[in-house]
Structure 1
């Protein structure tokens, strides 16, 4: 006897728990769903991009003009969207299509997802580097009753930086309180200058996350005034920004130098 298919709501909860880092065993226990069923749903998601059941017979219809335009809008708004995500979108639109069909439709519309598109993105972000390690405690030997002290100038340093697929752009030390005004000042002095240094074309795409300083009305007005194309960034998303790898390497380099103050 064929088992009853899980409701869409329950399948969505399984997917959400998986994307938040939960393991199959924990998801199974929390939602009272067999572990094998959880694994099957996640495998199906990874394989075809959706948990919904696709038509089993017959040839998939070609994309309608309306469906093609919808996918083109999705790609132009988010250069990071994957073919698997587009496949899922086609199912949600009621026009389930093959990967080859979607690729061909986008190609006919003049879009070619390639490394060239990524090369035109200027990634940016801020980070804080702890002088004595990444937000970690440092254990030291001292006599009982003595007061632990840190040399003058110890603490952390706040940085803003950017980079493209070619190389790094400018890295700026943030002095004082980091707010919207300070952020716009950094952009005004370093953003376009970095694009010139990196030889990016005028039609580059600027990436920033959804930090309140970045999405503030005054910041958005500044970006619009500069006629910049902004990469749409999903809210409450995992850290997808590749600049995190640059910050990690920089943090490791600082730790290896073992500086005793910010000047060093």
Structure 2
């Protein structure tokens, strides 16, 4: 038996005919395939039955609130809770999500990396990062700047590092030639205290060539952006 359904025009005419023929409410319900409440409602108000407009539950968000949500989420990396916290009208996270889902201008997209040869992104994760893309605006890209958010210098070498070769060949060919070419009289050479960088032979060579070295503890947390891989 069907429940809570609406009667068609033919079914309402059949109900009136069966009622005029002396059938009871439940007998008509069994004949039509509806509950006795449905049959009784149709007989009590035949002209007004099924004429009331079903408006449903009142909407939580107005058109103004929907525009406010779309403006807040336009081309920005914010979560649903962060967008909800900025609204004047208290709504749930699911309501904010539905408003953005029904918008024809806002879509969820993965931020693409900027076309740059640098491997590391220092302003956020290297993996996928999503944002709310406004189709009326240009897409935003993940920053790959070299300075500002942080910096990293990558060095690579093959085989083992020999102390004498590192201390004399590399420093002499690059550091001293740079200093002499620019006629620098006062400078400080920055290095970490890795074993190959702070050997006794290297320290002696730096002292003999009057190279002023920055002094810091070996176990200082993250003192130097230079990292050996």
Q: Same fold judged by TM-score > 0.5? A: no
TM-score, normalization by structure 2 = 0.31
TM-score, normalization by structure 1 = 0.27
Per residue, is there more helix in 1 or in 2?
Answer: 1
Larger radius of gyration: 2
Bigger relative CO (Cα 8 Å, ≥ 6 apart): 1
